[in-house]
Structure 1
């Protein structure tokens, strides 16, 4: 079968490898997967290793793809086929079940299927133990299923922030995760003020369509000043989904006293933190990594119609054959063109109307029909 294999930063190859052979309690899944730019750019956190991973014991190369859904096509020994029958649509929970102090996402040896080993969704098939699966409720497509993993990240961040209906929010960066944060906030708190900072025109438009109260272009205005013109003391919660020095600074200076900064981004560079600002304003500074057993809640919100319109955030569909050129390199090109901006001190940027928001990969077909 074909698989997208990660050999290191900037080195992802579509190769032919053997189909997985099922062991006890496993099922074979025909996959639909989202692409992940972080794996293309960096070795952290945990995208394969030259040393065996403590849990999977795998080294480079590993098959990528942790944001996937799929259909069960074969069941292994010991599987309860009344629950996990062939033809059942499923999603992956995302991580192994090794945990630390009860918080599975904070395990010091954290592992994700599709990042640290055991196969991944960027392949035609994957063998997965059923303990790591959820069935997709009736009416939820595989495309939407492939969006549940990043949506769970956004949902976990909103829960951890302590956000309530009477609070105000700033979301910095309206890529897929930032847009999912907007979607979760608006779905759960319909009357709240949700402000978004994003340099790309099409992503600002997406943010407005999916629940933002107002959007700002950080290349044209000073974000903290713009925020305080609407919310005089500053926002209650700032969600940083961009992960650069400028986004963190803009977030912190936009917060009210005792506000909360939540980092969702994987940083590619180190940052300088204004600790005195946190001190004198008593700012709560925190981050989230992944999620912790929230998939059932997220699926329930989608199935009930509380969270809807996720398919509108999928702007491109490609085959596995094209995942490097039309997936990773396309995202990287647009990131370099649109993603590296500076708040308050800036140059004008030329933005493309066709900017990608979310790419789905269909490994099993060159002409995907999802």
Structure 2
């Protein structure tokens, strides 16, 4: 089968590799769609970060570069391993793409398995990836999705779960005013979750298409271009001079982080969602004098079931955020290059590893 393989910084190759074997306790999935994530872009430009470099195998997966990329995937079950009785051939599924040590409690009451030692992600740390025609995944990490949800939209459930967990970490509540720095996929999907619980959302974003997408999709009440207006002043106008209650950093850009610090009210909450491939700086004096809470958030923890339910019930519409579909051969030129160098023209680009649906 064909797959996108990460060798090193700016070195991704489309290759033919062996089809994985379905073993007891696992599920074989024909990948329908896989999204290109900001984390994939960071690995390409700044990495390896999560990807174990060649010759330095990950302690759980035992793999190192080259590895197959892709962790935002949807697909159809083609085979189930011995002992798997609650998933059937033909089911539509998404993957919660974790690589976690077997001795870690990943049960429904756990709220910290995603923080366990050596945690990594399928599609980054090994065990296959969504940028391949097929993948075999342990049953624990496979989530059925109702067939009423189109498979292309289902591929966005993984990043939507990131947004849902970030909102949970922020302790946002109805009536709050939130400022979201960046209207890329994670910023937009975080905003969608915020709107779903009754939060007023303000977005700061350079790209006109992304600002328009935020407003037209209904996930933002206001979307400002920081080159044209003073975003901090606009937030103050909207909040009677108080400032935003919560802020979400979704860009890994220093000036955005600084803007959010200034836009927050005293005792506001700053939640850092993006993966930083470099060190950021925090104005400690502002942090102290405003008593700002700073919280990190990584991925999700038992978040997929509730996120899937939101989509199945029609409470969040994912279709508007899909702005491109490509095949595996166009991964770099029409995928990575677009999102790195022309991201003002796209939000979420999906890849069909088999070419079906294009």
TM-score range, shorter chain: over 0.9
The answer to whether the 8 Å contact 2:49/2:277 transfers is: no
Answer whether contact 1:6 1:48 (CA < 8 A) is retained: no
Question: Partner residue of 1:160?
Answer: 169
2:325 counterpart residue number: 317
Task: Provide the residue aligned with 1:64 in structure 2.
Answer: 69
Does the Cα contact within 8 Å between 2:36 and 2:335 map onto a contact in 1? yes
- Range with greater deviation from structure 2 (91-100 or 6-15): 91-100
Q: 2:178 aligns with which of 157, 169, 174?
A: 169
SS of aligned partner of 1:229: helix
Cα pair 1:13 1:324 within 8 Å, conserved: no
- For residue 79 of structure 2, what is the aligned residue in structure 1? 74
Task: Report if aligned partners of 1:96, 1:132 keep a CA contact under 8 Å in 2.
Answer: no
CA distance in 1, matches of 2:288, 2:328: 49
2:315 paired residue number: 306
Partner of 2:336: 328
Q: Which residue of 2 aligns with 1:349?
A: none
Per the alignment, residue 35 of structure 2 pairs with: 34
SS at match of 2:266: strand
Q: Quote the offset at 1:44 in angstroms.
A: 4.9
Tell me the CA shift for residue 48 of structure 1.
3.1
Do the aligned residues in 2 keep the contact of 1:11 with 1:40 (CA within 8 Å)?
yes
TM-score by length of 1: 0.90
Kindly indicate whether residue 355 of structure 2 is the aligned counterpart of residue 361 of structure 1: no
Structure 1, unpaired ranges of 5+: 339-354
Are 1:93 and 2:96 counterparts? yes
Task: Identify which of 43, 47, 51 aligns with 2:47.
Answer: 43
Partner secondary structure for residue 27 of structure 1:
strand
Give the length in aligned residue pairs.
Answer: 345
Say yes or no: does 1:14 pair with 2:2.
Answer: no
CA RMSD of aligned residues (A): 1.5
SS of 1:86's equivalent?
coil
Over residues 97-144 of structure 1, what are the superposed CA-to-partner deviations in whole Å (9 max), with x where a residue is unaligned?
434895011123111111100000000011111111010123112112
Residues 44 and 155 of structure 1, relative CA distance in 2, 3 Å threshold = farther
Aligned-pair distance for 1:200? Answer: 0.6
Q: Counterpart of 2:2?
A: 2
Instruction: State the 1:253 CA deviation.
Output: 0.3
The within-5 A match list for 1:1-370 is: 1-31=1-31, 32-36=33-37, 37-50=41-54, 51-80=56-85, 83-98=86-101, 99=104, 103-189=112-198, 192-210=199-217, 211-231=219-239, 232-308=241-317, 310-335=318-343, 355-365=345-355, 368-369=356-357
Contact 2:51 2:64 in 1 (8 A): no
Moved over 4 A (4+): 99-102
Whole-Å separation in 2 of the counterparts to 1:113 and 1:268: 19
